[in-house]
């Protein structure tokens, strides 16, 4: 469970925190295409993606827009569900055969409310994701689709060949046709 432990540690955890979290984890091996979380439900679980690739997406009027990718070491959850106990807006799909470590229900929440270091760990997790969400938004506003594609390749080099084009296109906010045109330009 190397990736999971590294992720926990990267959010500023000491050994004590790792020892608090590890006993909560339940290992699950899941197939490609598995829907880990579904939008519209209250999803109370929290996952570490130990191996595999996942995308978070949202559906409306027939369209399906990916707005988040995670590879090994990422944390997967339904933000609104987990933070506010209301139905979430995102589904999370595993794009490869994956191994996850699950923390069921709100076991973490209980730790947050009783342990200072855990509360600060949870704070840092939310802060990091917030910076990431903000950066993604600014990219969307400032950069052309071609530039965003270049940055995607830089930020997620492993994913370019593991994820199908339509998902990357919707993540970048363009149609698949446009992304194909961008790739053609590069050659």
Partner DNA sequence: TGCATTTTTTAACAAATGTAAAATTGATTG
Partner DNA sequence: CAATCAATTTTACATTTGTTAAAAAATGCA
120 contributes a contact to its own copies by CB under 8 A: yes
- Among 26, 28, 186, CA closest to 99: 28
Query: Out of its own copies, DNA, none, which partner does residue 133 contact, by CB within 5 to 8 A per kind?
Result: its own copies
Stretch that binds DNA, among 122-130, 131-139, 149-157, 171-179 (CB under 7 A): 171-179
97 contributes a contact to its own copies by CB under 8 A: no
Task: Quote the CA–CA distance of 101 and 179 in Å, as a whole number.
Answer: 34
85 contributes a contact to its own copies by CB under 8 A: no
145 contributes a contact to DNA by CB under 7 A: yes
Query: Out of DNA, its own copies, none, which partner does residue 11 contact, by CB within 5 to 8 A per kind?
Result: none
* Local structure of residue 106 (DSSP, 8 states): T
Residue 64 and residue 170 in contact, taking contact as beta carbons nearer than 8 Å: yes
Max distance between CA atoms of the chain, in angstroms, equals: 56
Q: Which is nearer to its own copies, 27 or 123 (CB)?
A: 123
- Among 56, 82, 75, 51, CA closest to 125: 75
- Collapsed DSSP state (helix, strand, coil) of residue 104: coil
Contact residues: its own copies, CB under 8 A: 58, 60, 63, 65, 67, 79-80, 83-84, 89, 112-116, 119-120, 122-124, 126-131, 133-138, 140-142, 170, 173
């Amino acid at each position: 469970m190397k990736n999971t432990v590294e992720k926990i540690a990267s959010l500023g955890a000491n050994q004590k925190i790792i020892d608090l979290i590890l006993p909560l984890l339940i290992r699950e091996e899941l197939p490609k295409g598995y829907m880990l979380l579904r939008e519209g439900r209250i999803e109370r679980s929290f996952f570490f993606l130990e191996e595999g690739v996942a995308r978070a997406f949202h559906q409306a009027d027939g369209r399906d827009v990916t707005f988040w990718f995670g590879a090994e070491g990422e944390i997967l959850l339904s933000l609104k569900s987990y933070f506010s106990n209301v139905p979430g807006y995102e589904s999370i799909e595993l794009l490869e055969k994956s191994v996850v470590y699950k923390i069921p229900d709100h076991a973490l929440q209980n730790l947050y409310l009783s342990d200072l270091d855990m509360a600060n760990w949870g704070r840092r997790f939310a802060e990091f994701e917030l910076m990431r969400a903000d950066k993604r938004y600014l990219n969307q506003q400032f950069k052309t689709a071609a530039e965003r594609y270049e940055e995607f390749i830089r930020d997620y080099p492993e994913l370019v060949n593991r994820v199908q084009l339509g998902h990357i296109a919707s993540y970048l906010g363009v149609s698949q046709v446009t992304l194909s045109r961008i790739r053609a330009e590069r050659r």
